[in-house]
Structure 1
């Protein structure tokens, strides 16, 4: 498995492919809902490849000075339970740290908070976000 920082159209297409296959199709999320205003040239994408085939991804973007929002953490179903989601998040955190960010924020699906807690994120259970598809919890982690 190879972790890449998707910095051009071709590698970003890999991130989009994984998101369409593993999330949009499964949960009947429209392309307009899946690809939002944060999918732009400033957004950073991590893609994990298996022999040049994209199998996992996540993205991050600045939300305020010193903080990034990590999201759209997705692994193709046949590649789950191999640590690729964790690897994608940790790679995003590393890149964000290199760029000078000191805090990572995310909105985890309620049922997935344990995954992020294992990576050091702290849930704010008083901050539940009612989305169109999922109920999410605000979580944060220091990158220092």
Structure 2
């Protein structure tokens, strides 16, 4: 598996199509909440499998000097083999190159154990986002 930073419209559309499958179709997030006003402010990352098929993605932006990791997703048939961690590692490497020392993300509560294994810690009470329970998590890098 390898992660590529999105550099053109075609790659961005591939990322959107994965997000639509995972968040909109699978998790019933409204499309207008999934593809939002921050897209142009973010660095987008695509994960490819060994066959060069796009299978996951994530996005990243800087808010008030803290890196915010968002929209981490992997197509259902490719989960459970380290794909999510591969995306997270690439985003964290990118964040370090931006001279950031802290990352945060809003994790769906069912995904908290995944992020805890990557060194994130819960930093908020539960809240709803797009009808799904979340908690903010942070990590020093």
* TM-score w.r.t. length of structure 1: 0.91
| Corresponding residue for residue 15 of structure 1 | 15
Quote the residue 1:29 is aligned against: 29
State the shift of 1:48 in Å: 0.7
SS of residue matched to 2:126: strand
CA contact (8 A) 2:103 2:140 kept: yes
CA distance in 2, matches of 1:134, 1:142: 26
Please say if residues 29 and 130 of structure 2, whose CA atoms lie closer than 8 Å, have aligned partners that are also in contact.
no
Q: Which residue of 1 aligns with 2:79?
A: 80
Partner of 1:140: 138
Instruction: Label 1:103 to 1:93 Cα distance change in 2 as closer, same or farther (>3 A).
Output: same
Range that drifts further, 127-136 or 88-97: 127-136
* Contact 1:17 1:54 (8 Å CA) reproduced: no
Misfit runs of 4+, over 4 Å: none
**Does 2:102 match 1:103?**
yes
**Higher strand content, 1 or 2:** 1
Q: For 1:55-94, what aligned pairs fall within 5 Å after superposition?
A: 55-65=55-65, 67-94=66-93
TM-score (norm 2): 0.93
Q: How many residues are paired up?
A: 140
Structure 2, gaps ≥5 residues long: none
1:6 aligns to what? 6
